[in-house]
Structures are given as structure tokens and as C-alpha cells.
Amino acid sequence: MNFLCFRVTGGELFEDIVAREYYSEADASHCIHQILDSVHHIHQHDIVHRDLKPENLLLASKCKNAAVKLADFGLAIEVQGDQQAWFGFAGTPGYLSPEVLRKEAYGKPVDIWACGVILYILLVGYPPFWDEDQHKLYQQIKAGAYDFPSPEWDTVTPEAKNLINQMLTINPAKRITAQEALKHPWVCQRSTVASMMHRQETVECLKKFNARRKLKVHFMVTHTHAHSILILHTQRLCFFSLLTGGHPHHHALQDKLAPEIIKITEQLIEAINNGDFEAYVKICDHGLTCFEPEALGNLVEGMDFHRFYFENLLSKNSKPIHTTILNPHVHLIGEEAACIAYIRLTQYVDGQGRPRSSQSEETRVWHRRDSKWQNVHFHCSGAPAAPLQ
């Protein structure tokens, strides 16, 4: 399996919608049709995106009726068919499914839940679940507490609401699949089922919704260093495609750089095991972002979060630790960046002197500056990285 990146120049779908002179329920149907078609494609190849949201829906070009593409597969996972398992807490708060919030086994249905949230926004310009308090937001989602309030929903057809209800079904086993959703009358028979009435109020609400999103993105970009430029550049220019084969130059570069990435990853983990914060800092970018169990579902930036564990746990641990990297897969992002995904198996001795093991699925993004590789992003699903208590 290879990742192939293409340049997409049309910008965000949601920004394009608010610039249109005319936008109807039928247009929303066309949008979700394309999104579902892409989701169905990746699900057929046993890939779960896990982070579907407006920011990751891009247009292939600036031409009218340009195709919608899925972007940013940084949190994507590979599953076995309809496999349900706990792959870790990952995603964006307002688009997380109930099963993820409950830390239950999950799979492809999480993408359909996110599509349901997106469709709701496409129709009225605001999300079905919203609260400034994240705990209250999560409670809403777990309870499936949304409705179709007047007057904005009065002009939406019952078929559209029916599809949303099937997408936002709490029980993932009963949730509609991408393939089934593509056959829903509101999607496949839009010319006769979906309303053609212009939805000006939706456009106005979408403008406000987009402004709030941009404010959050501006805050993140303002407080992030060069590695963010790399990550944002990647997600803006790339969408996912599953292919066999590839360009000979890419294979040669892959063969050359993959061992380097694996080696530097092993060196970083060795620094962690040895409690050597100085060595760890030299390998990591000072603005390193991470998403791991210890952060309780939050994206953490900088070294202070890691310094605490080194100074209060890792450096004081005298018990032996041994880590093995299993099934490492390296994907290049040009010649100066790479992503490595692997299973980290850690053997250690607990407080009672008993041998223990823990396993986690990890992804690291590396960026090369002045011939030196630095870790700019880290994502971990599973057990905490240093279960030494």
C-alpha cells in the first residue's frame, strides 16, 4: 500500500459554499454524496479516517462543480473488514462518536457519525452538538441529544432529516453505512426528493461558523512553529489514494530514507527509556505537538508536558525497561519529511518487581532541517508510553 499526494487548489468546501450566489438542499445533497463516495472508497480498502470535519473537505480546483476531496489522513487507521476495537482516543471534539467518547471498541461507523454532523451543518450552518464546556458537549454527543428546531428546519425535507437520524444513531451496529447512505433517496434521487429552494439563512450561519473555525485555526498557527507549516501544508495539498506501484525515484528515496527514520525513532525511544531529557530535546522540535493517552484527548504543544514525566518519573526509575518497535511503516512526504507508524512493545518491571508488558500504536512525523531529523508530531493510541508505576 502506498500514499499518493496530489495538489488540490480549490480551498475548503465550506468556504466555497458561502461564496455562492445560490445554495439549496439539493446542493447539500450533492456535497454529502461526494463525501460519502470518498468514505465508501476508503472503507472498501479498510481505512478509517477518524477525523472527518469541514477543514478536511477540500475542492480539487477552483472550477465550478469541482470534486470534493478528503484531506489529512494523519489519524487514519487500517482495520480488518468490520473489525471493532479500541484504537485510542482520536478526532475533533464536535465530530467524535459516542463509542469513542465511551472508550468502547469502534471502527468504520465513526466516520459515518462525523458525516452526519457535517450534513447537519451543511443544511443549517451550525452543528447538532455544541457547548463551550467540553464535558457538556461530550455528554450531549453520548446521549445523542440533538433536534431539528424551528424555524430553520421547517423548510428541510423529511428525507434529509431521516438520513441525518440514520447517521447519528448512537448504536454503531445500527448506524447506516456509507454504501447504504449512497442509496438513500435523498442522496441518489436528489432531483426529485431534495428541495431546490435557496437557503440564504444557512449561508449566513455558515459564514459565522466558518469565522469561528478560522479563529481557532489562527490561534493554533500563531502559537505553532515551523513543524505546523509542514503539517498544514501536507493536509492542504494532499488527499488519500490507495494504489499499487509508484514512481521509481520514490522507491529509491524510500529505500534510502526509511532506515534513517527507523533508526532515529529508536534513538528517541532509547532516550525516553533512559530518562535522558537532554537527548530527547535534541531529537525533538521545541514546538513538538502530541496526542497521547496521558494528555486525556488534548493536543499538547511544547516540551513542558514531557519534561514533567522525565523529571518526576522516567529519570527516577531504576528498573530495567526494554522497548521493541514492531511492523514499522515509513511514508515519505517529499524529501524533507516523513511519517512512521509502528507498534511499540514495552517490557518493564512494576513496583512489586513483577515483569510486565504494554503495547501502543504510535505515529511520528519527522522533518529534516540542515540534514538533521527532528520529531515534530507524535500520536499514540493505546497504553501510556511509560507505564512504570
Maximum mean pLDDT: which of 173-182, 208-217, 296-305: 173-182
Q: What is the mean pLDDT of residues 22-49?
A: 95
In percent, the amount of the chain with pLDDT more than 90 equals 44
Amino acid letter, residue 22: Y
Nearest by Cα to 104 from 51, 78, 142: 142
- Whether 250 shows a pLDDT value over 70: the answer reads no
- Whether 229 shows a pLDDT value over 50: the answer reads no
Residues 131 and 134: their CA atoms lie apart, in Å, by 7
pLDDT tens digits for range 60-89: 888 888 889 998 888 899 899 999 999 888
Q: Active-site residue among 51, 72, 111, 285?
A: 51
Residues 237 and 341: their CA atoms lie apart, in Å, by 21
pLDDT band at 178 (very low <50, low <70, confident <90, very high): very high
356: which strand partners? 348
Contact (CB, 8 A) for 180 and 165: no
3-class SS shares of the chain: helix, strand, coil, % to 5 = 45, 20, 35
Whether pTM > 0.85 for this model: the answer is no
CB-based contacts of 306-313 (< 8 A; 24+ apart in sequence): 306/277, 306/280, 307/277, 309/386, 310/275, 310/276, 310/277, 310/280, 311/277, 313/386, 313/388, 313/389
Q: What is the mean pLDDT of residues 369-380?
A: 88
CATH code of 2-242, in short, is: 1.10.510.10
Maximum mean pLDDT: which of 255-264, 295-304, 342-351: 255-264
- Whether 117 shows a pLDDT value over 80: the answer reads yes
Please say if 154 is a catalytic residue.
no
* Structure confidence at residue 301 (pLDDT): 85
Q: What is the mean pLDDT of residues 231-245?
A: 39
Beta strands in the chain (DSSP E): 2-3, 47-48, 57-59, 68-70, 77-78, 242-243, 284-291, 300-301, 321-332, 337-349, 355-369, 372-382
Per-position b or e across 151-177, b if 16+ CB within 10 A of its CB = ebeeebbebbeebbebbbbeebeebbb
Domain ranges in the chain are 2-242, 246-382
Q: Does domain 246-382 have CATH number 3.40.50.720?
A: no
* Structure confidence at residue 170 (pLDDT): 97
Indicate the range of 19-33, 84-98, 317-331, 374-388 predicted with least confidence.
Answer: 374-388
pLDDT band at 143 (very low <50, low <70, confident <90, very high): very high
